[in-house]
Amino acid sequence: MPVTVTRLFELPVQISLPIYSLERPANPQPLAYLVLQADSYRMYKFVMSALATLVTAYLLLVLMLTVALTWCINRLMVRPLRRIARELNDLSQQERLGHQLTLPRLHHDDEIGMLVRSYNRNQQSLVRQHDELSIQSTRFPVSELPNKAFLLAMLEQTVARPQSAALIVVACETLQDAAGVLKESQREMLLLTLVEKLRAAIPPQMVLAQVSGYDFAILADGLAEPWQAVTLSKQVLTIINERLPLHGLQLRPYASVGIAMFHAGLSAEQFYRRAVSAAVTARRKGKNQIEFFDPEQMEKAQRRLMEEHDIMTALDNQQFAIWLQPQVACASGEICGAEVLLRQRQADGSWSLPPSLIERIESCGLIIPVGYWVMEEACRQLAAWQSQGIMLPLSVNVSLLQLLEHDRGEEMLKLIARYRIAPGTLILEVTESCRMDDPQDVMARLRPLREAGVQIALDDFGMGYAGLHQLQQMKALPVDILKIDKVFIDMLPEDVSMVPAMIQLARGLSLRIVAEGVENDAQYRWLQAAGVEVLQGHLFGCALPQEAFSARYLSPAREDENL
């Protein structure tokens, strides 16, 4: 502490002053001394107290300012920054790209607002750059079709799922030939035109990709049969081969097609390489060729397409005909109906039903047109009979595929209306060997036919999918007749374990019973005793052409004989 301060507060304080006379002698001597004494302790206490108060006040003020400043900083800066940091830290990997921060309510115009807006702008810019890079990395230039990398990624998904698929590689040699002849703008126009043609040739659910400057690939998920892939490939080649005008030039593009069918155990790369290898093989054989990676599949597809061609040719050239087999009332033995049976003209001029013809028609996907033709022929025959006053019912076999096909029920109703078929004279025999996966849908499609006077029979009962669950659902179906298959009739009368149960079931469902395939009198007598209403089989008559059937069973002479 300085000396002056020490002296100032030295206690007590004493001051001595000499006192002189008024006269000024030569040698003045003090007359006396004035001694002043003062105690500064109180002043000391006052000063110290004032200083302490002042320091305390300043400290409190500083503390208050610090707390206030800290609260403001926390409120206005730390808390928003912490919230932003927490939001960014909680983002998943998928959410980071393109994430946008929410602008805090009180920070629209300050530095935090500037920070948030800058972050959002940067994120938007990153999204645009990412999209551009994605397009560049997964899309082919000009056409913007998926490229090879994108296709391989999709093939990875395809091979990971146990489902059928085909990969078709279309190598367009015209694009390759045009590389050194046409201008760049003309080549791009040619490419875009071919892309549009390819898109028009394939269903929308299939994937069209461009795997090189001249090659395209079609990924067809769900395509199970080689012939389907060949049919699609032919459609593609047909539309590619169409004449193409281009800036005054007349081009006829051509291509080669390679097909690979997916098999379990193949990788995506192997699947792709097989299709490319098949396309190379097709190119070596000439223009507009189609090749499978597996030659056996090519042969199988060719056989399938030849079958389809033969069936369509037979239909167009009137080599199909309907024959009629009589159905008789069990009680009286009189004819009470007939069933329509399909026959095909053979090379020697005879008519018969070739083995597995119906199965081949279904496998070729032609059951719809052939079935429609049979239905129209049956309606034409019914109309001819009814114009003569003959009201004999006619049974026609119908596949569930026909019923479930879009608008087929409406087409049948139009046929019935066009030929003015009398109610109760047309019977549709629905094949029970086709599984009724959706009985409600089947019921919805059968009901309008039933309301139009069409009777419904369940054909080939016991030979297909009719389990107990479906038999329970049959109670809700608009079925009138149950037909017992010939396989069970052949057991009679030696084995009577199955047919009585079927008869009892039909009666429980209030259905009339038709037994087909009756061959001898013993079967006839047993079925008659069992109360079966209608019988059909060679015992009562074989199938005949329409004219022969009418002459034998419906002529006036026949009626007089019956009388």
Q: What is the pLDDT of residues 297-328, one digit of tens each?
A: 667 677 777 888 888 888 889 999 999 999 99
Q: Is the pLDDT of residue 94 over 70?
A: yes
Mean pLDDT along residues 343-368: 86
Q: Is the pLDDT of residue 428 over 90?
A: yes
Q: Is the pLDDT of residue 244 over 70?
A: yes
pLDDT for residue 410: 87
Q: Which residues contact 107 (CB under 8 A, 6 or more apart)?
A: 76, 80, 113, 116
Map residue 520 onto helix, strand or coil.
Answer: coil
DSSP category for residue 245: E
- Which of 338 and 562 is assigned the larger pLDDT? 338
User: Which CA distances in Å does 500 have to 381, 492, 539?
Assistant: 35, 10, 21
pLDDT for residue 1: 47
Mean pLDDT along residues 81-94: 80
Mean pLDDT along residues 27-38: 76
CATH of 148-307, one of 3.30.410.40, 3.30.1480.10, 3.90.420.10, 3.30.70.270: 3.30.70.270
Task: Find how far residue 47's CA is from the centre of its chain.
Answer: 94
pLDDT for residue 474: 59
Q: Is the pLDDT of residue 255 over 80?
A: yes
Q: Is the pLDDT of residue 44 over 80?
A: no
Q: Is the pLDDT of residue 12 over 90?
A: no
Give 216's strand partners.
Answer: 170, 210
Tokens of 421: 């078929």
Of 14-23, 237-246, 427-436, 445-454, the range with the lowest mean pLDDT is 427-436
Q: Is the pLDDT of residue 478 over 70?
A: yes
Euclidean distance between CA atoms 161 and 168, whole angstroms: 19
Q: Is the pLDDT of residue 22 over 50?
A: yes
**Position 563 confidence tier, pLDDT thresholds 50, 70, 90:** very low
Average pLDDT, the chain: 84
Mean pLDDT along residues 210-216: 90
Sign of CA dihedral 369, 370, 374, 380: positive
Neighbours of 273 (CB within 10 A): 15
pLDDT for residue 247: 73
pLDDT for residue 249: 76
Percent of the chain residues topping a pLDDT of 90: 36
pLDDT for residue 266: 86
Euclidean distance between CA atoms 415 and 372, whole angstroms: 10
User: Which CA distances in Å does 11 have to 3, 37, 38, 55, 420?
Assistant: 14, 10, 8, 26, 142
pLDDT for residue 521: 93
318-562, which class in CATH?
alpha beta
Q: Is the pLDDT of residue 462 over 90?
A: no
Task: Find how far residue 1's CA is from the centre of its chain.
Answer: 95
Q: Is the pLDDT of residue 50 over 50?
A: yes
Mean pLDDT along residues 518-530: 93
Annotate 365-433 with DSSP letters as a single string. T-HHHHHHHHHHHHHHHHHHHHHTT----EEEEE-HHHHHSTTHHHHHHHHHHHHTPPTTSEEEEEETT
Enumerate the domain spans of the chain: 96-138, 148-307, 318-562
Q: Is the pLDDT of residue 435 over 70?
A: no
Q: What is the pLDDT of residues 161-212, one digit of tens each?
A: 878 899 999 999 888 888 777 888 888 888 899 999 999 999 989 999 999 8
Euclidean distance between CA atoms 521 and 529, whole angstroms: 12
pLDDT for residue 393: 96
Of 1-10, 89-98, 126-135, 181-190, the range with the lowest mean pLDDT is 1-10
User: Which CA distances in Å does 354 have to 197, 326, 442, 500, 540?
Assistant: 41, 21, 30, 33, 23
Q: Is the pLDDT of residue 417 over 90?
A: yes
- Which of 434 and 167 is assigned the larger pLDDT? 167
Tokens of 251: 């081009």
Q: What is the pLDDT of residues 117-176, one digit of tens each?
A: 888 888 888 887 777 666 666 788 888 899 998 899 999 988 888 788 999 999 998 888
Q: Is the pLDDT of residue 465 over 60?
A: no
Q: Is the pLDDT of residue 562 over 50?
A: no
Sign of CA dihedral 128, 133, 139, 143: positive
User: Which CA distances in Å does 444 have to 6, 94, 173?
Assistant: 117, 46, 51
Give 158's strand partners.
Answer: none
Q: Is the pLDDT of residue 432 over 60?
A: no
Of 86-95, 366-375, 485-494, the range with the lowest mean pLDDT is 86-95
pLDDT for residue 546: 93
pLDDT for residue 557: 54
Q: What is the pLDDT of residues 262-307, one digit of tens each?
A: 988 889 999 999 999 899 888 888 888 999 887 676 676 777 778 8
Of 10-14, 359-363, 549-553, the range with the lowest mean pLDDT is 10-14
pLDDT for residue 13: 63
Of 122-126, 192-196, 394-398, 447-451, the range with the lowest mean pLDDT is 122-126
Euclidean distance between CA atoms 292 and 289, whole angstroms: 10
β-pairing verdict for 165-171 and 256-261 = antiparallel
pLDDT for residue 335: 94
Euclidean distance between CA atoms 55 and 49, whole angstroms: 10
